[in-house]
Chains A and B, each alone.
Chain A
Amino acid sequence: MSANVAAGDPLLRVEDLRVQFPTEDGLVRAVDGIGYELRAGRTLGIVGESGSGKTVSALALMGLHPKHARVAGRIDFDGRELLGLRAEQMRALRGEELAMIFQDPLSSLHPLHRVGWQLVEAIRAHRDVAKAAARERAAELLDLVGIPDPRARLRAYPHELSGGQRQRVMIAMALANEPKLLIADEPTTALDVTVQAQILALLARLQRELGMAMVLVTHDLGVVAEVADEIAVMYAGRIVERGSTEQVLTAPSHPYTWGLLRSIPRLENGAAGHGPASRAPRDSDRGAAGELEPIAGRPPSLIDPPSGCHFHPRCPYALPEHARIDPALAPVPEEPAHLAACLLEPEVRTELWSRLRAGESAEQARAAVGLADLASEPNSVAAGLASETHG
């Protein structure tokens, strides 16, 4: 009973999605109004740290959010509005048209049931097939995800498999009924790097073969760089930047994205790759051509977020008025599909990024661009930054 989406229309459209949890300390705004579109066959990478709301938003897509959560907004999937569906209707979609894989395959697979049993269950939940036929299909699926000797493996228990094999089983289970959309929540975080590479390659291949769309939630920018067509960067329950992978990673237009990119050690040329150009890597030097530049402070409270721009207490380029105005996502000039939620002028941001890329520090770039001096402002952002580090 699938509604037909006109060719060219996005398969998934999320609009102003909000997820809130009432708690003793107040209302937690885990997801505070996010929106994006995804077409069939494409991959969206949602990047963020803990508390950004990325996992909660993924669970909300599947209707797997905790019962006490309040969800609002629109999720249009294949022509249907998911949030308005009854529980029974949503259940019919899960595992059939929408599927999800999780971070830790050891805890996400039932430890007391054999792998074959779990796969067969996934198949028979939505298709009326005999057990024998389902078992056949299960063996096919294990073969599809690259598990050797699939028929024998059906009888294995999850703990008898390696981490990579378990994740392959999870993927097989999710793809059992050829869903249109796969949501992957940190699928490789618990895996070794060589296994991660294999799993990502597997996901890419399966996506091509099945024409599936994928939402990949992760904190690892390297992973989205390899796999995603588009990236959305989340902070404090919102999307602060969105665009193609190329745009977001090579020409980012939001201070948080800059902060993330500059706080990750890189494999080539040591350190952040954006260290001071004057210090070329020397053999006798230790791994760094420059220091990592971490983002100062800590993630904000989701109950009582900072006023105005939620990132302003940690932003090295914030101005006093940023504490009063809450920016909306706006397109970057000449890149209509690239959006950023920042109050600084786009030209200023472009220049800041060029300077940072050339090796200047945040203070240097800020000064060069002519933003007012932080320290001269009373109750300034700088004071806020200092207290966050030592808090």
Chain B
Amino acid sequence: MAEPLLEVRGLVKHFPLTRGVIVQRQFGAVKAVDGIDLTLMAGQTHGLVGETGCGKSTTARLIMRLLEPTGGEIRFAGRDIAHLGGGALRALRRELAMIFQDPYSSLNPRRTVGSIVAEPLVIHGLEPDRSARRRRVQELMDTVGLNPEHYNRYPHEFSGGQRQRIGLARALAMRPKLLIADEPVSALDVSIQAQILNLLRELQRELGLALLFISHDLSVVRYMCEHVAVMNSGKIVESAAAADLYSAPQHPYTRELLAAVPRIPEDRRTISG
């Protein structure tokens, strides 16, 4: 069995609560993530589902090392990245990429789309030649379904769905091994959601990306992921292959979630003609 690309064991993140007049003393903590395990193989799609405050976004940030865990380990491609710093952390950022929920605030409004997508390349010193970089950026824009001619436009000139594509192009610039998508379609209209989801699926297949897909929407996760974990209050209550989880949920919370999803009636008439 191949080694997992991402292995999370006993991951914990506590945000301390303090009180004190001159000196701050900790008297408790918010246990945002309270000991979770996660395994992701290369090229696999894994969903993380839960309601507000369950800790799924915090988990995403911990794996991306935007936050440092209070405890537990995160092994990426065999290395423990839980407490990396400095240059090693920067190097890690070439292999892990993230796209975010809000297409309106995750792009710097003062930069052109081209410079936004090129930024990872610039930071990591790849493609120092400006024209080669430009070509790469335009290639990326084309891959995500944007018109490469719009290299010099600003984010506000694009719609929500297009901005998510820009974020995706930026994430893919480094050819990452793992893409973390934190509610990437929640802020989009239904018809645009479908376009972005299909794009993600297509790219994931073509590029062999591992995908960690975080969402509160059970139907979307069902569509996107082979494996799903359900989170509640900082813990994973159930984790299974998607087909199993959705057809035979074991944990009461999972059942409650599934029961709450409104159903669109299916056409039960027989097809005539």
Contacts and interface: CB of A to CB of B under 8 A. Distances in A.
Interface of A: 49-50, 163, 192-197, 200, 219-223, 225-226, 245-246, 249-251, 259-261, 263-268, 270-271, 273, 281-283, 285-288, 291-295, 298-299, 351, 354, 357-358, 389-391
B110 interface: no
Interface stretch (B22-30, B61-69, B84-92, B217-225): B217-225
A287 B269 contact: no
B223 A270 contact: yes
The 7 closest A-B pairs by CB, nearest first: A222-B262, A294-B194, A263-B194, A265-B223, A192-B51, A197-B260, A49-B189
A266 B219 contact: yes
A156 B6 CA distance: 45
Contact of B222 (A50, A220, A270, A293): A270
Interface in B163-203: 189-195, 197-198, 201
A287 B221 contact: yes
Residue in A251, A282, A298 whose Cβ sees the most chain B Cβ within 10 Å: A298
A226 B244 CA distance: 26
A267 B267 contact: no
A354 B271 contact: yes
Given A251-B269, A264-B194, A283-B244, A193 B223 contact: no
Contacts of A294: 191-195, 198
A251 B258 contact: no
Nearest to A296: B195
Contacts of A271: 223
B262 A225 contact: yes
A164 to B, nearest CB: 10
A287 B224 CA distance: 6
Interface string B251-270: 00000111111111111110
Interface in B217-235: 217-226
Contact of A281 (B243, B257, B258): B243
A194 B223 CA distance: 20
B216 A263 contact: no
A357 B267 contact: yes
Interface residues of B, number: 51
B154 interface: no
Given A192-B216, A193-B260, A265-B222, A219 B195 contact: no
B190 A260 contact: yes
Contacts of B218: 193, 267
A364 B195 CA distance: 20
Given A283-B243, A351-B273, A357-B267, A265 B219 contact: yes
B81 to A, nearest CB: 27
A261 B264 contact: yes
A222 B264 contact: yes
Given A261-B264, A263-B194, A281-B243, 5 more contacts: A266-B264, A286-B225, A287-B242, A294-B193, A390-B147
A219 B190 contact: yes
B70 to A, nearest CB: 26
A264 B190 contact: yes
Contact of A267 (B52, B201, B256, B263): B263
15 contacts: A195-B51, A196-B262, A222-B264, A251-B269, A263-B190, A264-B190, A265-B194, A265-B219, A266-B264, A267-B263, A286-B224, A286-B225, A294-B191, A298-B161, A357-B267
Contacts of A288: 201, 223
Contacts of A223: 262
A282 B194 CA distance: 22
B126 interface: no
A351 B263 CA distance: 25
Nearest to B271: A354
Contacts of B146: 390
Contacts of B262: 196-197, 200, 220, 222-223, 225-226
A293 B244 CA distance: 25
Contacts of A267: 218-219, 222, 246, 258, 261, 263
Contact of B191 (A197, A246, A260, A354): A260
A265 B261 CA distance: 12
